Amino acid sequence: MTHPQKLFWGAFAVFAFALVVLPQEFAVVFAITTGSFALLLWVVFPAGFQPVDYGKRFVRAIDFLTLLNGGASVAEANRLAALLFTPASNPNMDYEAIQRAERLRRVWFEGKQLPAIQLARSKGFTG
């Protein structure tokens, strides 16, 4: 079970507890609040999405941009960037890619990941 799913079921349990245990005037307000929170978690963090996936996409995007800058074709850069964090990769290669992405994130993208991913997508990144 992912962390967002745990949060959802925790909020749902509090919602059910409020309806059963608290006096009626408090239970309704409390139940609406926790129920809204649980619903928000379900919408914001759909099942299967993990923030780690976004971080990997960022590292792959930076790797793609670096490969393009080094003269690789779009297809070759996509193929090589897609190897990161897979069994075909190795931990040292992944670690170096993470370190490079963190350095470039601070220098090129003012500490943000989304602009890097958007730039890479505009140049043909498919990861």
Separation between Cα atoms, residue 60 and residue 117, nearest integer Å:
9
- Shared domain check, 57 and 30: no
**Does any domain span residue 69?**
yes
Q: In the prediction, which pLDDT does 113 show?
A: 87
Same domain membership, residue 70 and residue 13: no
Model pTM?
A: 0.61
* 100 three-class SS: helix
Residue 46: pLDDT band by 50, 70, 90 thresholds? Answer: low
Total number of domains constituting the chain: 2
Is there a contact between 28 and 34 (Cβ–Cβ < 8 Å)? no
pLDDT in tens, 83-109: 999 898 888 988 999 999 999 888 888
Q: Domain residues for 98?
A: 51-122
Backbone angles phi, psi at 6, to 5 degrees: -60, -40
Say yes or no: 34 and 73 in one domain: no
Q: Compute the CA torsion angle 66, 101, 49, 42 (nearest 10 deg).
A: -130
56 plus 105 within the same structural domain: yes
Query: 57 and 94: one domain?
Result: yes
Q: Are residues 91 and 60 in the same domain?
A: yes
